[in-house]
A = this chain, B = another copy of it.
Amino acid sequence: MNPPTISQVREAAERIAPLVHLTPVLTNKTINRLSGAVLFFKAENFQKVGAFKARGAVNAVFSLDDLDAKQGVATHSSGNHAAALAYAAGCRGVKAYVVMPENAPPVKKSAVADYGAEIIYCKPTQEAREETLARVVKETGAVFIHPYNDYRVIGGQATAALELLQQVSGLDAVVAPVGGGGLLSGTALAVKALNPGIKVFGAEPEMADDASRSLQAGQIIPVKNPATIADGLRTSLGELTFPIIQKHVTGILTVSEEAIISSMRLVWERMKIIIEPSAAVPLAAVISYKDIFVGSKTGLILSGGNVDLDSLPWSNADTHKLSNNP
């Protein structure tokens, strides 16, 4: 198989349209003034399940033929992909099996359960996750839908940038956060196919800088269990996402934890919308690398808005620790 073409991305957009939101693009004068750029925020925090992940999961589940689909779908994740897959499976009327570490936060367990997925708990190790998933797939015949290393998922995530470019003309650059690389590779594919003159940047935490290192090294250099506050970006690039990013992305910009937290707070305070730490990483990059973006028209993908309101980064001890040890 090859990476999705722009017509496949357009097909994905049509396929998922009835089940996902066409999210708005927001602007903010204060943040423009602060950054010296004109910024367009693609608000995927308003997306179904609260994150862009709904796009990839719905595209993947609705790309299956009936025979495969009726066996159900499975994944291992405790994050937005798990909720998205549960949502997508529910829409198609098939089962979703989600393998989750037994110590996952209750709020994540219930998010996935609320969408009707069957949760299979495992020990909190990578090995246990994979073994448990393999067993579930074997026992149920469910189709494994990887959170990012899957062209159907990448094609779905690409629809956010496709929409953004339909909503805003004249962009100089687009910045997406990068964890496993599903969103960034999809964004790069769509943007470069539509307008090769637009630069695409990935933004990631310094504490989880595997994409930056991997691009420099020319091969995937995983980062193990990074403790960044941007919990959606703790994963490392995959074999399918890496080459797309290598080919199409201008650069990876790494940002400090302080920059992530202050950008997140800036968006909350000024734009009055709730975004999760991972979604603040592109703005942190635009502010931290002002020279690159000053004077430009730049699109940023606000990847999601799922936050534990009982534990905000600026209200607990960790924040103080971080600000004391920059």
Contact = CB atoms under 8 A, between A and B. Distances in A.
A111 to B, nearest CB: 10
Interface stretch (A72-80, A226-234, A264-272): A264-272
Copies of this subunit: 2
Given A310-B315, A314-B309, A272 B269 contact: no
Interface in A252-299: 265, 268-269, 272-275
A305 B24 CA distance: 19
Contacts of A265: 309
Contacts of A275: 272
A148 interface: no
Contacts of A314: 309-310
A273 B271 CA distance: 9
A268 B312 contact: no
Given A46-B272, A272-B274, A274-B274, 8 more contacts: A24-B24, A50-B272, A268-B274, A272-B305, A273-B274, A309-B314, A312-B315, A315-B315
Interface of A: 24, 45-46, 50, 265, 268-269, 272-275, 305, 309-310, 312, 314-315
Identify the 3 closest CB pairs spanning chains A and B, nearest first: A272-B305, A272-B274, A45-B272
